[in-house]
Amino acid sequence: MKAAVAGLALLALAGCATSPVYQRPAVAMPAAWTVEAPWRASAPNDSVARGPWWRRFNDPQLDALEERALAASPTLTLAAAAARLAQARATVDAASAGLFPQVGLSSRANRLKISPNRPLTNYSSSNLSTVQNDFALSFTVSYEADLFGRVRGTVESAQASAQQSAADFENVRLVLTSDLAANYFNLRELDIELDVLAQSIALQRKALEFATARHDLGATSGLDVAQQQALLDTTLTQVEVLQRQRGQFEHAIATLAGTPAPGFALAAGTGLRAPPALPLGVPSDVLERRPDVASAERAMAAANAQIGVARAAYYPSINLAPSAGLDSRTLATLFDASSVLWSLGVSLAQPLFDAGRTDANVSIARSGYDAAVANYRRVVLTAMQEVEDGITGSATLDRALVQARRATASSQRVLQLANDRYEGGAATYLEVITAQQSLLSSQRQAAQLLGQRLLVSVFLVKALGGDWNP
């Protein structure tokens, strides 16, 4: 008896050793981001929903488009990601069922004839042919004693895979919403440029009328008129190019929002707002925020559990299968005490030779884990790069936008002076043309920088993993 208890204890200890202890691999992290004021610390938490981060841009039309996209978009397979998540959770339930006994009920009702020519069971007695009924009702129980962690490893792997699917769903949602916001801000930036061009065209038409009037009076040559007409034609050409680009962004927004492009239109608007202030924490916080990092980490946990499942094949499988039931020739006596039958049994199967199959499966599981570790480190490094790019890009664009606005103000003063000098006869019309081109270039550059600044904010929100705790 003591020997049997000791043997079971050894088997249990062996079972505890089949699955490696899972630890998230270390990744070299910088102590802090390269930041400038006014960044502040964030409160990262991967388990918290990313939330409607786009509302921080205070644009009601963007808010409405994002809600439409989340409700109806087929583009980034949001519905498919949700289906995969539901499938992974159902897989966890199926794997967890192996931790409990499986109970079944079966019944049988037969009328049969036994052959008199069947093989003998006793040389001293002859076989007889009989025709009889057979009624049976039985309960069966089946349970695998998981001493070596095969079932536990399967459950752990399924749970990690379900968590990975949840992170993948959040990542698809984040990609969808950030792509829509990026296309929206690109479109609004083009609206600002088109508005600038419209104002420039109005000024250039007035300048053309003025140059034509002076030419008709003989005060100037036809060169001034030709130069102004060429500038106006060039500006009109730029309008057509920007309209084409705007149409492409509009079509992309329609598709992301789940609407056919021909039936979708966004009215022009020039009211872009300043981007929101984004919080930052230490670099390691990204591991607790980004859904793609969480997905890669959960993939490692699932792969680690699969090593334990593969190792369990080295050890015997033990199954308990008790059963009890009733069996009788007639229904009237089926529930009599004499009709009761039962059995208790334990089966043990130990692989002795499998031509290296178990070794190969363990190697496959280890290689899968190594690949998951490599992918995790790649995702983390990419996350570090994207956040740092967003931080430095935001600071650089802020300075450039301030300088561009100063340049626009200076160009407006230059144009006013050039017009005054030309009207007074102290300058040629080439100075006016040059001043007009400079002002148009400065205004368009300021619009482009504002659009880029908003895009960088969207990409930084994405790089930080979505919304943050207030």
* 3-state SS string for 300-331: HHHHHHHHHHHHHHHCCEEEECCEEEEEECCH
Q: What percent of the chain has pLDDT over 90?
A: 13
Angle between helices 222-256 and 150-216 (to 10 degrees): 160
**pLDDT at 243 exceeding the cut of 90:** yes
Distance CA 295, CA 298 (A): 5
Task: Work out the pLDDT band at 4, boundaries 50, 70, 90.
Answer: very low
Which among 53, 14, 9, 21 is positioned nearest to 469, based on CA atoms?
A: 53
Rama region for 349: left / alpha / beta (φ>0; ψ in -120 to 50; rest): beta
Q: Answer whether 309's CB lies under 8 Å from 369's CB.
A: no
Residue 329 CB partners (closer than 8 Å, separation 6+) = 132, 133, 134, 135
Residue 12 has what pLDDT?
45
Q: What digits encode the pLDDT tens for the residues 355-379?
A: 999 899 999 999 999 999 899 888 8
User: How many independent structural domains does the chain possess?
Assistant: 1
Residue 351 has what pLDDT?
87
Distance CA 233, CA 468 (A): 49
Residue bearing the bigger pLDDT, 280 or 408: 408
Q: What percent of the chain has pLDDT over 70?
A: 86
Residue bearing the bigger pLDDT, 12 or 381: 381
Tell me the one-letter amino acid at 203.
L
Residue bearing the bigger pLDDT, 272 or 175: 175
Residue 395 has what pLDDT?
83
Task: Work out the pLDDT band at 248, boundaries 50, 70, 90.
Answer: very high
**pLDDT at 1 exceeding the cut of 50:** no
Q: Answer whether 261's CB lies under 8 Å from 251's CB.
A: yes
Query: Mean pLDDT lowest for which of 114-123, 187-196, 197-206, 273-282?
Result: 273-282
- Residue 327: its H or E element: strand 323-328
Task: Work out the pLDDT band at 282, boundaries 50, 70, 90.
Answer: low
Distance CA 35, CA 277 (A): 13
Q: Kindly state whether residue 116 falls inside one of the protein's structural domains.
A: no
What CATH number corresponds to the domain at position 199? Answer: 1.20.1600.10
Residue 407 CB partners (closer than 8 Å, separation 6+) = 442, 445, 446
Residue 19 has what pLDDT?
66
CA dihedral 201, 203, 204, 206 (to 10 degrees): 120
**pLDDT at 3 exceeding the cut of 50:** no
Range of the domain at 168: 2-100+147-314+355-463
Q: Tokens 């050039």 label which residue?
A: 418
Which among 46, 118, 30, 115 is positioned nearest to 298, based on CA atoms?
A: 46
Q: What digits encode the pLDDT tens for the residues 77-88?
A: 677 777 888 888
Q: Kindly state whether residue 320 falls inside one of the protein's structural domains.
A: no
Q: Kindly state whether residue 123 falls inside one of the protein's structural domains.
A: no
Quick check: helix, strand or coil at residue 143? strand
Q: Kindly state whether residue 129 falls inside one of the protein's structural domains.
A: no
Q: Kindly state whether residue 470 falls inside one of the protein's structural domains.
A: no
Distance CA 311, CA 362 (A): 6
Residue 276 has what pLDDT?
80
Going 285 to 27 to 381 to 297, the CA torsion angle's sign is: negative
Q: What are phi and psi of 52, to 5 degrees?
A: -80, 75
Q: Kindly state whether residue 307 falls inside one of the protein's structural domains.
A: yes
User: Does a cis peptide bond (omega within 30 degrees of 0) precede residue 30?
Assistant: no
Q: Kindly state whether residue 115 falls inside one of the protein's structural domains.
A: no
Q: Kindly state whether residue 389 falls inside one of the protein's structural domains.
A: yes
Task: Work out the pLDDT band at 264, boundaries 50, 70, 90.
Answer: confident
Across 41-50, 56-65, 262-271, the highest mean pLDDT is recorded for 56-65
Residue 245 has what pLDDT?
93
